[in-house]
Amino acid sequence: MSKLSCLELFAGAGGLAKGLEMAGIQHKALVEINKNACQTLAKNYPSQLIHDLDVRSFDFNQFGHIDIISGGPPCQPFSIGGKHSGNTDQRDMFPYACKAISLCTPKAFIFENVKGLLRKSFSNYFEYILLRLTYPEVYCKESEFWQDHLIRLEKIHTSGKYNGVKYNVIFRLLDAANYGIPQRRERVFIIGIKEDLNVAWSFPKESYSLDSLLWSQFVSGDYWEKHGIKPSSIEHLDTKTQQRIQQLTQQPALFAPPSKPWQTVR
C-alpha cells in the first residue's frame, strides 16, 4: 500500500513535517522562506524536497495529486506579542494556505497557529478562514474586500446550495503537555477532510494532565521516588497551584486523577 503524499507549507524547522513523517506520510515538498530554517530542514530531508522561497511565488501545480497539505502559517500577525495586526499584517499567509487547498484539492489538510488566533478581535476573520477552507472553489473576486467575500461564503454555507469541492473543517486549541510532551505549547489546529470521502474523524483524547502531575508530586509522592530526588516544597509554588493541590487532597477517598501525569524534562 502506497503512503499518503504531503505538501508542507511554511515548514519552519520541520517539527510538524517530522510528526507527519513518523505517522507514515511521505513528503513531496517542504516550502520555507527562512534560510536558517531551511538549513535545519536540510539536516533531516533530501535537498530536492526543500524549496527555499516565498509561498506566494510557489507553483502548486507542479506535483500533480497531493493527498495532504500541512503547515503553520506565520503566527506573528495573531500572536499575543507584537502588533496584533491580523489580516492587515503582510505576513498573514492564510489566504495562500486557502489558495493551496483550492488549487490542489487534497484529501485532507492540517494547519496550526498560535492561541491568539482565537481572540475576539480576530473572530470574524477566523470565521472567514474556516469558510474559505470549507468552500475552496468560492474564490475571492478581484478587488473584493474579505468582509464582502465572507458575506458570500456565509450565504452559501446557510443556504446549502453548493456543488463544488467541500471540506468538513474542525478546529481545536490543544496543549502539547496534555499529550505527553514535556512542554506547555498551546496551538490552534485546523483540520479539513474532503466531504465526499465520508471520513469520520475527531481529535485524539487528551491523556495527560497537570492535576495528575501535582498528585504524583504532592499527594502520593511517587514523582520524587521515581526520579530518586528530594521532594520539593509546596511553598515554592504560586498561590493558584497551591490551591489546586489543596483541592486534590480534599477529594473523597483521595482518588487519583484518571489521566497520566504531565511529563517533565526529568
The residues annotated with a catalytic role in the active site are 75
3-state SS class at 261: strand
| Distance from C-alpha of 118 to C-alpha of 149, rounded to nearest angstrom | 20
Residue 91: phi, psi to the nearest 5?
-85, 0
Cell of 100: 493551496
Helix or strand run (H / E) with residue 131: helix 123-134
What lies within 8 Å, CB to CB, of 219 at 6+ separation is 245, 248, 249, 254, 256
Distance in angstroms (rounded) separating the CA atoms of residues 131 and 172? 16
The candidate with the shortest Cα–Cα distance to 60, out of 12, 51, 263, is 51
Report the C-alpha gap between 173 and 190 in whole angstroms: 9
Size (the chain), residues: 266
First to last CA, the chain: 40
Eight-class DSSP state of 248: H
* DSSP β-ladder status, 186-194 and 108-114: antiparallel
State how far the Cα of 70 lies from the Cα of 53, in Å rounded to an integer: 17
Distance CA 210, CA 244 (A): 10
